[in-house]
Structures are given as structure tokens and as C-alpha cells.
Amino acid sequence: MLESNLIKQLKPRFNVLLRDDKSFPYILLASSARAAMLTKHRGARSIPGDYYGPFASIWAVNRTLNALQRAFLLRSCTDSYYDNRTRPCLLHQIKRCSAPCTGEIAPDDYAELVREAKAFLTGKSQAVRTRLAADMAEAAGELEFERAARLRDRIAALSAIQGAQGINPKTVEEADVFAITSEAGQFCVEVFFFRTFQNWGNCAYFPRADKSLGLEEVLAAFVTQFYAERPAPALVLLSHALEEQSLIAEALTHWSGHRVEVAAPQRGEKHELVGHAAQNAREALARRLSDAASQTQLLEALGAAFGMESPPRRVEIYDNSHIMGTNAVGAMVVAGAAGFMKAHYRTFNIDQTDMTPGDDYAMMRQVLTRRFARLKREAPPAEAPHVLTDETQADGGEFPAWPDLILIDGGQGQFDAAEAVLKSLEIDNVFAVGIAKGLDRDAGRESFFQAGRAPFRLPPRDPALYFVQRLRDEAHRFAIGTHRARRKKEFVKSPLDEIDGIGPARKRALLSAFGTAKAIARADVADLEKVPGINAATARLVHDHFRNAG
């Protein structure tokens, strides 16, 4: 357990590293004083209720939730939306909610729907379907055809959930299945999730590990790191028997608070599940190696197009986004032999204090100066031209911290700004290329700017041209998305955000009591003290803030 935690924290080069530590999505049946809510959830389990999962992807959760809404008609809205309804919403009209908010269903009947949903999500799906089928037959026998039709639709929704699960085991109620394979010095671990006798999806991982390690060693390290921040199920199935298998089971039992069995089955249905996972692992690794070969060819074409002595290992693309100079951001996108390296993406909030708002050239100078000045401090090129990070490329090699090539989204002016920054920082081992959009902004007619060459174009249908367009479009997408997120945040910004000691709870309490920030600014200390959760010191702090601001 200690070793697993240290590996996650320190990322030693020659240990097995699980680089993907994202949390998995769950379905949450939240208990509420109003009415139980069915929704998706990711992160800490801080909301009271029942959690079902994990699911391998958010798409699997969304698909299952849509079918569950049709089957059980449970609300998915927030409590604030629920409290302010005066008539049923659209979900009720399209038969995806029973509208408990406006009393369209009796509390006892809604509670029965909740019980049916819990029964289905805990593996009693056949009993639920049998009961619904009996109710449908009874309704049809009593000539209540509308109720029979609604029950028929609910049964169809449940069938859709079970039909979309893929391979559903008959004897394994809850298990995670791990299968590992290796080729060309790379490892792939495929993980399947089975809950309530249903397949809830799978996910492929490509951990970084020394080529000399055996499959058993890599798998053992992977499993312990995988569950360091995730709950373990009652059963963990492995494709290879591990030397410390009993010790791992003991550690997982300690972490999870319940008994966890770790096994490498040799026959029966459990062995078949491991076999399916192993086949998926082989196919996923083959696809990754194939994509890496194509990506390597594109990098070679890119290096040849710009006259580089060798293909670039790390390419950085820069773009800015703003509206008339407001909420200006810079974006850096990174690509290598493994494709887009999203863990290395960076954004820059541009400070326009000393520049004309909307000056694209000055913005580009600021972004590149901040980027390369910091890079020189953290990884001096004189000492290590390619300081290695904790990631690997698709070919198993280390991914460099310094770029070989930077692409600037812009014309001659942006390119000149980039060249000036590199020269001022005395950086001469990085190729810089500017990309100007073609006439009428047509893709395929871009002009390129490079030191020592007149502006030029790449031939139509040149693979390097299409690759550059992909890189530029990704940088543009990332920059626009960052700008929109910052602009959205500005829209909902409140003067209360500037007061130290006023968190979300106190902010809600003040706005609930006074309605607007202007009303809070006009309030006396005595009035502020009457708000629940606001003591005398906090009231004085809020009062003085607005008086000093005025």
C-alpha cells in the first residue's frame, strides 16, 4: 500500500506508472426530503443516496440513465428547480418523469417507483420485469389500454438497458476483470466492470513500465495503483496469477472495508470473461501501435516540409482568443508520436495592462515569453536539451519537455513576434513556423512563414498540410473553449467573490436574504448579522468592503 502511494506521488521512472487517474462515473439515486432523484455522479460520494457503478464511460451512463428515466419515471432535476415548478416540465410530457414536483403522482406511488428502480439496479431486473408484465396483462384485461401501453413502454426501456450491456455473465454478480498484454515494448491492460450480473463497460490503459518487467509484475503494480483511489468490488479477476496475490487481496480488503477476493480463473465462465478482456487488450494495443505508425509518418512529413534535420518529437501549437480584447486567453496544444498529449495542454490568462486591448502581436509575445522563460528555468536547454517528463510516447520512448517545432496560428506579424521572443531568450534550437489562413479563409490555401524562407504554401493533398490543419484546428478549439469558459465565469461574477471569508454557503445565505448584491451593499451591519451563518465579524467585513469600495 505504501509502495503504491509513493509511486503515485513520486512517479519514479523505472516503476510501473498508471498515468490515467480519472474518476469513473456512477449512477446516483439520491435520497431527498422532496423526492428521490436519479442522476449521474462523478467524484467524492458526499451526497446521501445509493451509488451504482462504476461505468467505463459517461456515454454508458447517459444511455442507461435515458432508459431508466423511461422505465421508472424518476426525477432528474436539481432541488432548486424542483422547488420552483408550478406545472410539469417537458420531461413529464415526453414520459420520462412522473412529475412529483406538481403532485401528478401520489407520494406512495412515487416511492414504489423508487423501490422498483433500486431493485433493478441491485440485480433484481427479472423480478421487476415479471411484475411489470403481470401489471400490463392485468391492465389490458380490465380494458385500461393506456395504462397497459405505458407499462409496455417501461418494459421495453428495461429490455433496452439489458440489451445494450453486451456480455452479461450468469454466475458473476460483481467483479472487475483485468487482462494484460504486451507488444513492441508496450503494455496494455483492459479492465471490464461487471455489476448486478451486467456488463457496465470496459476501458483500456497503457501504463508506463520498463520493458524488462514481466506481465505479472506490471499487472500487480497496476492493480494496486488502480484501487488506490477507487473502491474495489467483492471479486477481482486477473489474466495472470500473481506472486503476491494473497497480499494484494488483503490490502484491497483493508482499503475497501469489505472482503475482496483476487483470483486468476483457469476454467468456467470467469475464465471466459478474462479471455474476452484479453482479446480486447490485444486489439486495443494493435490499434495504438497502428495509430503510432501513422502519426510517426505524419511527423516525418512535417519535418521534411519545414526543412528539419529529423522529425519533431514534440510539436507545440499556439493560438489566442478574445472578443475585442476582452477575456483574452492564450492556448498551447501539444502533439507527439502518441497523438495529442492533452496532459501537456496549457492556457494563459493574458494581462493587457501594458498593451492595447486586442493587440494580437503583443498577446503572442506575452504567451511565448511566459512559456519559454519558465521552461528555461525548469529545464535549462544547455544542461538537458530534451529533459524527459513522466510520460511516454507511443513508441515507448520518453516524451521531451522541450519542443522541436512550434506552430503559430497567425501571419507574418505573429511569426515575427515569436521570432523576437526566441531571440531575446537566446533559444536557437526550436523551429518556429507561422500559419496564415488562406484567401477567404479557405482550408488548403494556407501560407507559411519561416525564418530564411519567403512565404510559401504546401502542395494540395500533401499529408503534412492536412496534419498542420488538424493541429491548428485543435489549438483553435482549445483556445475558443477556454475563452468561452472564462467569459461565462465573468457573466456570473459577484462582488461577494472578492471578499475573503465569504464562501459559497455564506454567499447563498446573503443573496437569499437580500436578493441582490446591491441590496447587500446598502445593508447595515445589524441587518447583515440577522442572516443565518453571518456572525458580527463577518457582517462587519462585508459592510466595510462595500463602504471602502464605494
Dihedral (Cα; 375, 378, 382, 383), 10-degree rounding: -150
Q: Average the pLDDT over 34-46 and give the result.
A: 86
What pLDDT sits at residue 390?
A: 43
DSSP 444: T
Dihedral (Cα; 450, 455, 460, 461), 10-degree rounding: 0
Q: Average the pLDDT over 326-330 and give the result.
A: 84
Percentage of the chain exceeding pLDDT 90:
26
What pLDDT sits at residue 388?
A: 41
Q: Round to whole Å and give the CA distance between 462 and 470.
A: 13
Q: Average the pLDDT over 243-255 and give the result.
A: 90
Q: Round to whole Å and give the CA distance between 209 and 223.
A: 14
What pLDDT sits at residue 533?
A: 84
Binned at pLDDT 50, 70 and 90, residue 16 comes out as low
What pLDDT sits at residue 263?
A: 94
Top mean-pLDDT range of 129-133, 200-204, 321-325, 401-405: 401-405
What pLDDT sits at residue 386?
A: 46
Binned at pLDDT 50, 70 and 90, residue 381 comes out as low
Answer with the residue of higher pLDDT: 483 or 177.
Answer: 177
Binned at pLDDT 50, 70 and 90, residue 199 comes out as confident
DSSP 535: -
Is 224 within 8 Å of 249 (Cβ atoms)?
no
Q: Average the pLDDT over 460-481 and give the result.
A: 89
Residue 315's nearest CA partner among 402, 429, 396, 382 is 402
For residue range 49-63, what is the model confidence (pLDDT) as tens digits? Answer: 888 878 877 877 887
Binned at pLDDT 50, 70 and 90, residue 224 comes out as confident
One-letter amino acid identity for 286?
A
- Cell matching residue 250: 488483503
What pLDDT sits at residue 397?
A: 55
Sign of the CA dihedral running 248, 249, 253, 254: negative
Lowest mean pLDDT among 7-11, 24-28, 313-317: 7-11
Task: Tell me the whole-structure pTM to 2 decimals.
Answer: 0.61
> By 3-state DSSP, what share of the chain in percent is helix, strand and coil, each rounded to 5?
45, 20, 35
For residue range 78-103, what is the model confidence (pLDDT) as tens digits? Answer: 888 888 888 999 998 888 899 999 98
Q: Round to whole Å and give the CA distance between 469 and 226.
A: 37
What pLDDT sits at residue 166?
A: 52
* pLDDT at 545 > cutoff 90: no
Binned at pLDDT 50, 70 and 90, residue 389 comes out as very low
Report how far apart, in Å, the C-alpha atoms of 36 and of each of 33, 116, 195, 238, 386 are. Answer: 8, 12, 22, 37, 55
Answer with the residue of higher pLDDT: 458 or 67.
Answer: 458
- Report the chain's C-alpha Rg in angstroms: 29
What pLDDT sits at residue 164?
A: 47
Q: Round to whole Å and give the CA distance between 29 and 75.
A: 10
Q: Which CATH architecture has domain 495-549?
A: Orthogonal Bundle (1.10)
For residue range 347-372, what is the model confidence (pLDDT) as tens digits? Answer: 998 887 787 877 889 999 999 999 99
pLDDT mean across residues, the chain: 83
Report how far apart, in Å, the C-alpha atoms of 195 and of each of 50, 62, 71, 162, 198 are. Answer: 14, 17, 19, 12, 5
In the chain, list all ranges with CATH 1.10.150.20.
Answer: 495-549
In the chain, list all ranges with CATH 3.30.420.340.
Answer: 169-285, 306-479
Domain topology for 306-479: Nucleotidyltransferase; domain 5 (3.30.420)
* pLDDT at 492 > cutoff 60: no
What pLDDT sits at residue 145?
A: 79
Q: Average the pLDDT over 445-465 and give the result.
A: 87
What pLDDT sits at residue 56?
A: 77
Dihedral (Cα; 193, 215, 282, 203), 10-degree rounding: 30
Query: In terms of DSSP H, where are the helices of 142-267?
Result: 145-163, 215-226, 245-256
Lowest mean pLDDT among 2-6, 264-268, 334-338: 2-6
Domain topology for 169-285: Nucleotidyltransferase; domain 5 (3.30.420)
Dihedral (Cα; 423, 425, 427, 430), 10-degree rounding: -80
Top mean-pLDDT range of 62-66, 168-172, 191-195, 457-461: 191-195
Q: Average the pLDDT over 164-180 and give the result.
A: 79
Q: Strand 398-400 relative to strand 388-392: parallel, antiparallel, unpaired?
A: antiparallel
* pLDDT at 245 > cutoff 60: yes
